Amino acid sequence: MKVSTLRIVLLLIISSLHLISVRAQFGIKKGVPISIPGEQNGEQLGEDIGKNDGFLSENDAADMSAIIEEAKKDLETMAMVTKMKEENMEGLAELKKLSTTEVLGGMKETLDNLKLIEYLFKDKEKAVREMEKEGMIEKAHIKKYRKDPDLLEQDTRRGLYFQFISLAVVGGFIE
């Protein structure tokens, strides 16, 4: 199974998660310390993403471990994991056929995207414009996000968190 197929399946899982009626805010809160790739000033941001061709650096492994440990402590996240396992058993069984390398590669890519959010949303209005230009925002939501760029940041962060947690479940890192 290719990584693009993994993304499609994960998008299906993630889209089904939006049906879950959880009202609490959970996931990675803004400002949680995870190491940002490249220099902190943003000039070389992202240059080392993917540099190791799927292998994790010590920082990546530590960051992933920290997110997983925090997720295990979060009652809302664990409720989401339980519901996901109950409602998507077939999809999860199919994804569990992926190799550990594929799962970790997807987790690393998601982690890198979580790190880049901090940089991307330094100028929230520009982030909305750029994401719209790249076709990353559904047309039905463009006006809402232009009006409230903070909501786009929250939704993007939440979606990436769900993706990371879904992969962690598939990889057996969260039971």
When pLDDT is averaged across residues 142-170 and rounded to a whole number, the result is: 93
Residue type at position 101: T
Of the candidates 110, 142, 139, the one whose C-alpha atom is nearest the C-alpha of residue 128 is 142
- Mean of pLDDT values over 14-23: 41
Q: How far apart are CA 60 and CA 58, in angstroms?
A: 5
pLDDT over 50 at 24, yes or no: no
Reduced to 3 states (helix: H, G, I; strand: E, B; else coil), residue 6 is: helix
Percent of the chain with pLDDT over 90: 44
Tens-digit pLDDT profile for residues 63-78 = 999 999 999 999 999 9
Alpha-carbon distance of 95 to 36, in angstroms, equals 29
